[in-house]
Amino acid sequence: MTCYEVFKDVVIPLFAAIFGGSITLVGVAWTIRKSDKNRKEDEMKKTRPLFSFHGLRGIPKLDSVIQHICLSDSSEPNKYECDVYVELENSNLSSFEITRIYHDGVWVGVEGNTVVLPGAKCILNFRFSDDLDHLFLEVEDALCNKFYYQLFVLYLGCCTREDKLLHTIRGIKRIATEDMERLMKEKAN
């Protein structure tokens, strides 16, 4: 067998098989990666929090059945002049957790019943001082993805027993992390 015949009968078919197999493996890997990405996006869409709110006209009175209450864990409650109450109502699609609230230039954690189950309602209460345009809510879905919402408040024209200006929520808008951070930086400057 000559060198040319060995090259023609052995090396070229071997090289073609390796090259063809490599292309096939790359294609399979690319397909698997794409399907994993699509599956993750689908799961994220299924678990993304979808909730509504009901503005309250006053401080809610607790019924005989204790309602779910989520409060900001502000260590200085007398520092803030405004008190906000709102009822959040979750859809039947997924649960979420209220993790923190941004007001007066700081993130404040929450305590109480922070997990809102599918179809459940929750009373959210927090205090702030004077910055009506920079109120944000952070929630986390079942897959630990964080979502941010800008809160728009409405002064109700009255005060609480502690002489805090009583507010409720008039609007909630989902906001991208980058847009929220930009608004925070603009406020800081």
| Domain residue limits, the chain | 1-47, 49-188
The chain-wide mean pLDDT, for the chain, equals: 86
Residue 27, pLDDT above cutoff 60: yes
The residue with greater pLDDT, 51 or 45, is 51
Residue 138 pLDDT: 97
Distance CA(52)–CA(69), nearest Å, equals 16
Residue 1, pLDDT above cutoff 80: no
Task: Annotate 8-36 with b (16+ C-beta within 10 A) or e (fewer).
Answer: eeeeeeeeeeeeeeeeeeeeeeeeeeeee
Give the pLDDT confidence of 152-185 residue by residue, as tens digits.
999 998 888 888 889 999 999 999 999 999 988 8
Threshold 0.85, pTM exceeds: no
